[in-house]
A and B are shown apart, each in its own frame.
Chain A
Amino acid sequence: MRTDNSGGEVQESITKIDKLIHEPSRYMLMAYLYVVEVADFLFLIRQTGMTWGNLSAHLSKLEAAGYVVIEKEFLGKKPHTTVRLTDEGRNAFEEYRGNMKRVLDNLPAK
């Protein structure tokens, strides 16, 4: 009986998993942004090892989903871009982690 129930829970949790966050690079970005208030592009590049283009592309997708806010400014003549997680993004990340945990916890033991 327990197996059936947990199987159902696993299936339900899997369907709830946010595909946007599930991509490893985006998950990593979300995780970094989750533990800080704001970070700039350079910091994220140094920490994740992504290229500018890669980072840009992933952040654009997260921005389009309303998970991050990207702010551009100029420090002197140099462009400076900062990124922060929105409340929606923070909630989505927590929900994603909760769903993943449920999926992993409910997998039948070997």
Chain B
Amino acid sequence: MVEDINLKEIQRKVYMTFFQDGLWDIFLGLFILGWGLSILTEAVYLPAVFFTGIYFTIWGIKKWLTYPRIGYVRFSATSRRKITGRFVILGTVVLLLGVIAGVLWGIGARPQWLADYFPLIFNGMLAAIVCLVAYWARVNRFYLHAALIFLGAVFHLWLGIRWEFGFIGAGSIIVLIGVGILIIFLRKYPRMVEEAHIEDRQ
């Protein structure tokens, strides 16, 4: 049993390195920010543009910024399939939510209770998705991000703050948290170049 626990702990540690640089926090923050901007500008396509645009940019930055500092690791094929599957499902759900929200908003065909509590339901679902990520990846600060997203709707319903500003506010705070983590990461892990150890060991 002791060996099993240790291996699981090591696996967890390896997964955590994925979130160590704060880039996924920035991704989430910008995505939420994009959602707020899309409501503000009534450009329904904006979340999808933000999602894909930032996603590929983050991977590029990771290659240039993260790997030379903490190294590169590729998870096993089974783990990769599992992680990809989960994120594809989450991505699809998020985009579907966006489409549903856009359509309902556009045609105005929604029951009163849905109209009244729609922001709470919508933000609640988004927050639940972020909580799932926090749970799967065991990155506790994502629970805080989820709370911020949910609070956006709470502030809208009970304090009268515009719904989109809740998204923009939450997104901005999440981005700032991500940037803070990134700065700490960059200070903690300077770039390292492989030494001529390969020849040494011969």
Contact = CB atoms under 8 A, between A and B. Distances in A.
Contacts of A43: 17, 70-73
A60 B72 contact: no
Interface string A19-63: 000000000000110111111111111110000110111011000
Interface residues of B, number: 31
Interface residues of A, number: 34
B74 A72 contact: no
A53 B75 CA distance: 25
Nearest to A59: B201
Interface of A is mostly: helix
Interface centre among B6, B10, B193, B194 (most CB of A within 10 A): B194
Interface in B65-121: 67-68, 70-77, 80
B194 A32 contact: no
B66 to A, nearest CB: 11
Contacts, number: 85
A37 B76 contact: yes
B3 A100 contact: yes
A100 B1 CA distance: 10
B75 A36 contact: yes
Nearest to B77: A37
B76 to A, nearest CB: 5
A78 interface: yes
